[in-house]
Structure 1
Amino acid sequence: MININNLGYSYSKKVQIFNKLDLSFASGKIYGLLGKNGAGKSTLIKNITGMLFPTEGVCEVFGFSPKKRQVGFLKELFFVPEEYYLPSLEIQELVNLYQDFYPNFDVNQFNTYLNEFKIEKSKRTTQLSLGQKKKVLIGFALSANTKVLIMDEPTNGLDIPSKITFRNMIKDSFKEDRIVIITSHQVRDLDELIDAIIIMNGGKILLNNDKEQIAKQLQFELSDSSKDDATILYQEKVSNGYASIKKNTTNMSGYVDIELLFNAVLANKLN
């Protein structure tokens, strides 16, 4: 469990990102953390990972205070940043060097991921493309089997087949004692992957709900033309017609269009 209570963070006296932010992440869920640039996503992640320290309030990760950077905390958290560096080593050497930091690291699992991504373990990192390096890092992150896995824009640099492979890997490696937090601007990549959606803007949480609950509360429709319908909460023109959101008055749970939901929440149309 990750518990955040009354969190405050300021880069300076004039730049305050969070003020009394409350948020929690439960084990057994994959979270999609969404927001425009500058919404506070990266700052939140860095407070959770202990890369930044709260100016007030509490952030606890499975009982640990991230800012203390204790061994018990570090061995159960893996962070895949958007921008990263891999040392100039063979992939095998890289694994040998870092796997002991993570007690639950599974070498066979990592080898399987490399095979799925079609990457040879004997390759040096300097011989890999940007997308291949991302694949190696993702494979290592999943194989570490930490209780907390945070991935910042993990699908950047991946081609379409690799994005499908990535989603399958996340599903296959997921365990009930694990918390996965994924940030992305490419929300379509998360459609069938995440269990809960958190939308931020201006350092505040605008939406925090399970996708299953959203599917019960809202109905997403696509039509050829715009409708003048009082039951429509939000509508926008898309390439193949008009997409709209209504209150779900049925007993059925349908598809959740995360991109449309994101736009509606930012437009303040679902209150």
Structure 2
Amino acid sequence: MITIHNLHFSYKKKKIFNGLSLSFSPGHIYGLLGKNGTGKSTLLKNIMGSLFPSQGSINVLGYQPGKRQPAFLQDAFIVPEEFYLPDVAIEKFVSCNAPFYPRFSRPQFNTYLQEFDIPLENSLQQMSYGQKKKVLISFALACNTSILLMDEPSNGLDIMSKSQFRKVIAGAIDDNKCVIISTHQVKDLENLIDRITIIDEGNILFDQTIDDISSKLSFRISFDDEETKKAFYKEESLKGNVIVAPNTYAEESKIDLELLYKAVVTNGNNVNTVFKNQP
């Protein structure tokens, strides 16, 4: 569905990607993780065709995004971190924009607004940033595009809204849709995504499915000094040392994305070795 090969991209003299290759398949919610400024937003914009690589290729749904063909744009949607919505009623926004998307569903849009507690009769400019983001997310999902890109979608949402967001996204995925969510707030994506890609300084540090992570890594509290020393990552807590370690005994443990991210960023080579060596 999305194939990126040997991608090179720079902002003037600042190199962002230097030969990046990556692919995304339908039926998945991908978590694109990394601190601010590591290239997450740049990657999404290249996929969407609003930025153009200096070298390499991007194929999305059989299209070259940079050509901005209407058939491609009708089947892809991006919810950017920074956005502008006009000073109009929600009804007016929908009537002006929905006709461009052939699979837009008004009943779905209304349902998502209800999930987010947004009154349909409101004007967009009367809303807070968080409320506007909920409207844009609702519209994006109701467009039913095959590709949905979301850049820091949980920014500006309160605790209850983040819970609503996870519920809405989980219910919207199907076998024909590919969702990529970029964020540095890793806790917001737990129990939602099924593949983790970690980017740092334009490089892919880690790219694994949730199932593989669960089977090959253990997230637990340890009181054993020797075990702690051998862990990929450790963090002191009141209950003992919280560690990320090889899942030697095939135990089930709840994945902690924040700990995983820290383990990969600080000790990525050793973490990745587990996935290379085990079947």
1:252 to partner: Cα distance: 4.2
* Secondary structure in structure 1 of the residue aligned to 2:226: coil
Residue identity opposite 1:3 in structure 2: T
State how far apart, in whole Å, the 2-side matches of 1:116 and 1:197 are: 27
Q: Which aligned pairs between 1:112-123 and structure 2 lie closer than 5 A?
A: 112-123=111-122
Matches of 1:99 and 1:181, distance apart in 2: 22
SS at match of 1:267: helix
Residue in 2 that maps onto 1:45: 44
Q: Are positions 1:82 and 2:112 aligned together?
A: no
Name the structure 2 match of 1:198: 197
**Aligned-pair CA distance for 1:167:** 0.6
Segment drifting more, 246-255 vs 106-115? 246-255
For 2:226, the aligned partner's letter is: D
Residue aligning to 2:100: 101
Contact 1:231 1:247 in 2 (8 A): no
Q: Between Structure 1 and Structure 2, how many residues are aligned?
A: 269
- Answer whether contact 2:115 2:168 (CA < 8 A) is retained: no
Q: Percent identity?
A: 49
> Equivalent residue for 2:225?
227
The 2-side partners of 1:181 and 1:96 are apart by: 27
AA matched with 1:228:
E
Does the CA contact (< 8 Å) of 2:20 and 2:203 recur in 1? Answer: yes
Give the aligned partner of residue 277 of structure 2.
Answer: none
2:206 is matched with: 207
CA RMSD of aligned residues (A): 1.4
Instruction: Give the aligned partner of residue 189 of structure 1.
Output: 188
Q: Identify the residue that residue 217 of structure 1 maps to in structure 2.
A: 216
Unpaired segments ≥5 residues, structure 1: none
CA contact (8 A) 2:6 2:55 kept: yes
| 3-state SS, counterpart of residue 144 of structure 2 | coil
Partner AA of 1:88 in structure 2? D
Structure 2 residue runs without a partner (length 5+): 274-279
**Residue matched to 1:180:** 179
The aligned counterpart of 1:18 is 17
2:234–2:244 CA contact under 8 A, matched in 1? yes
Structure 2 CA distance for aligned equivalents of residues 195 and 252 of structure 1: 19
Within a 5 Å distance, the mapping from 1:245-260 to structure 2 comes to 245-260=244-259
For 1:24 and 1:93, how far apart are their aligned partners in 2?
Answer: 37
Cα distance change of structure 1 residues 202 and 150 upon mapping to structure 2, 3 Å threshold: same
Question: TM-score w.r.t. structure 2 length?
Answer: 0.93
Question: In 1, distance between residues paired with 2:90 and 2:52?
Answer: 33
Per-residue CA deviation, residues 80-120 of structure 1 (Å, 9 max, x unaligned), is 01111111110011111100111111100110111121211
CA shift, 1:201, in A, is 0.7
- What's the CA shift for 1:69? 0.3
Deviation at 1:42, TM superposition (A): 1.2
Give the structure with the larger helix fraction: 2
CA contact (8 A) 1:78 1:148 kept: yes
For 2:248 and 2:30, locate their aligned partners in 1 and report how far apart those are by CA, in whole Å: 26
1 CA distance for matches of 2:238 and 2:76? 41
Range 117-126 or range 66-75, more displaced:
117-126
Amino acid at match of 1:16: K
Within 2, Cα distance between the matches of 1:241 and 1:180? 37
Q: Distance in 2 between matches of 1:10 and 1:117?
A: 38
> Contact between 1:199 and 1:205, CA under 8 Å: does it hold in 2?
yes
Residues 35-75 of structure 1: CA deviation (Å, up to 9, x unaligned):
11221111111110101001000011011000000011100
Q: Secondary structure at the match of 2:243?
A: strand
- Higher mean displacement: 47-56 or 260-269: 260-269
